[in-house]
Amino acid sequence: MNRIFFSLIVIVVLSFQALAQQSEILLTVGHQEISKDEFEHIYKKNNSNLYAESDKKSPEEYMELFINFKLKVVEAETLKMDTSQTFITELAGYRKEIAAPYLTDINFNEQQVKELYRRMTHEVHASHILLKLDNNAPAGTKQEVLGKINKIRNEILAGKSFEDAAVEYSEDPSAKTNKGDLGYFSAFTMVTPFEDAAFTTKVGEVSEPVKTDFGYHLLKVNDIRTNKGEIQVAHIMKNTPKNATKEEIAQAKAAIDSIYQLLLNGADFAELAKQESQDRRSAVRGGEMPWFSAGRIVKEFSDPAFALENNGDISAPVRTPFGFHIIKRLNARPVPPIEEARAAIESQIKKDATRSSSGKKAFVQQLKEMYDFTENEAAKEQLKGVNIGDSIVPQLTFFTIDNQNFGTKEFQNFIVAKKIRYGSFLSVYERWVMDEIIQLEDARLEEKYPEFRYLMNEYHDGILLFNISQEKIWDYAAKDSTGLELFYEKDKDKHLWGHRFKGHIINCKNPEVREEAENLFGAGMTADEVVAHLNTDEDELITIETGAWEEAENQVVDYYVWNGKEPEDFDSSTTFIRGDKIEPQPKTLDEARGLFISDYQDYLEKEWLKELRKKHKIKVNKKLLKTISGV
């Protein structure tokens, strides 16, 4: 959930030139000072490429939203949420991800770009078998695992099915259920050695053993097809629990079928998604999902989604492992031409040093020159013939970077941290040097690259915003049953039912049973009494559905009450209704709990912001704000 939340906050990473001078302070919120450049960067980023022009804000309008955002962050820091280990670990994880492109400078050529583009235009359907292997395992263990996987390959080549071998041998836990099937994937989806094998093995053939950081793999390529590009859809979902009962599945199916009928009768998809979809993350956006390719989402969803031919087309209800869905196509785009894709391909290459064996070394060489790297050859000579686990001369200095000395203690710390237990010191020496140099560069990213610093600030504030909003608003509103009930009583007329028919839908076995049932109703019997009177253990002559229905919710009610068209396979001689048409009424709290919780959250947030504006001092340099141009 956090990642989805941050994808809304950190929309895109923009590149811009380094600041020529210290920016003036535009805004102070509590103890935080925000410069003009930082605010301008965030303002332009969050007001560009919006879905609708009307959503754009002027700098003055956006300032109010930004103040509300910063107030929550300052409050979270006041509560020391930024000192929790969970926060520190999560932020460090995000930093590692966004730092990666800054810590590589791989040389790539035109041939590599063209090959990766070729892969982008195709999708491979592959299965695999994995035997796990630690990267630091001794040579003997590596040979043992390699021997095992070669033996498995020979069994397959001799006639054993790949699927049976995956179930029997693979150490990928999912293989027990999917028989090693990975589905379709395109370029940049798998680790590089795996991708290389997938795109160079012929359809129907089994690859030679492939070594990755996970271990040794065997791949079988089942199919290769043209990449259909990406699609954007909206969906309405009724979920089913993992171990759903037949009754729960039937209820979800009935609910999605009812929604589908409403759509066929002209109901607005986005509004229904907001009201009915149980995927609440997309429901608030009218069911809209992020763009995806066919191989990046379950087949049960992607196949019917890509089968929709035109924007606006709606699928019939489909079932996936998560529940039932109705899918609406919003837009589609093919794989872009190579010149349009070039920048993205080059960026991907830079992120993955394994795509070029010399890339990381070249980058480190640049850093060595930048940070005045010098090496003590005499000390390095003393490592010859010494194995890890043996003692080495204490207090040796092996090299210097940016006036920092690195010696025996740092080398031993590196070996312990990387859990290296075998081999000679010289065999890992260059790896240690590269690691220390890259760590130095990593520590200076915020100082060297303003765009990196701003992005880290956004992640920092985004995590705090999520955590404090969850504690103060989202979780609180859902748990505060007393407060929610009081809020409902004050504003219960906000969510109303439309005109409804309230009563019974009666289905009889034959016209004679209908006549008798109408007589019993006429005599004043209740629906339960009529059922008890007519049905026996041996024969069910009548079924009665009791409820309240708005127009377009039930075809039988529509036919009798709202002059709707006659339903298919309908027999008016055996099916009838009894009840009354009722005026609009407020929905009960249980009937509209999700809507009222959402309203209650909005109310709590507004009241909370009033408190925060009193608690934390706010100062805006309005003269400086006027110098910022709108987008």
Find the distance separating the first CA and the last CA of the chain, reported in whole Å.
30
Gyration radius of the chain's alpha carbons:
32
Q: What is the CATH number of domain 230-333?
A: 3.10.50.40
Domain assignments of the chain as residue spans, ordered by start: 110-226, 230-333, 497-582
- What is the rounded distance in angstroms from the CA atom of residue 190 to the CA atom of residue 217? 13
**Sequence-distant (≥ 6) Cβ neighbours of residue 489 within 8 angstroms:** none
Left (φ > 0), alpha (ψ -120 to 50) or beta: where does 318 sit? Answer: beta
Quickly name the fold that domain 110-226 has. Chitinase A; domain 3 (3.10.50)
Of the candidates 344, 334, 326, 302, which has an alpha carbon nearest to the alpha carbon of residue 184?
A: 302
- Given this model, what pLDDT does residue 67 score? 96
Task: Kindly give the parts of the chain with pLDDT less than 70.
Answer: 1-23, 49, 51-52, 104-109, 353-360
**Sequence-distant (≥ 6) Cβ neighbours of residue 405 within 8 angstroms:** 397, 399
110-226 with 230-333: one CATH topology? yes
Query: pTM to 2 decimals?
Result: 0.53
Of the candidates 411, 389, 386, 387, which has an alpha carbon nearest to the alpha carbon of residue 398?
A: 411
- Given this model, what pLDDT does residue 23 score? 66
Cβ neighbourhood burial of 101 (10 Å; 0-12, 13-18, 19+): middle
Dihedral (C-alpha) 531, 533, 539, 544: value to the nearest 10 degrees?
Answer: -10
- Given this model, what pLDDT does residue 108 score? 56
Question: How many other β-carbons are positioned within 10 Å of the β-carbon of residue 27?
Answer: 21
Of the candidates 454, 545, 465, 461, which has an alpha carbon nearest to the alpha carbon of residue 508?
A: 545
- What is the rounded distance in angstroms from the CA atom of residue 517 to the CA atom of residue 531? 9
**Sequence-distant (≥ 6) Cβ neighbours of residue 529 within 8 angstroms:** 520
- What is the rounded distance in angstroms from the CA atom of residue 408 to the CA atom of residue 536? 90
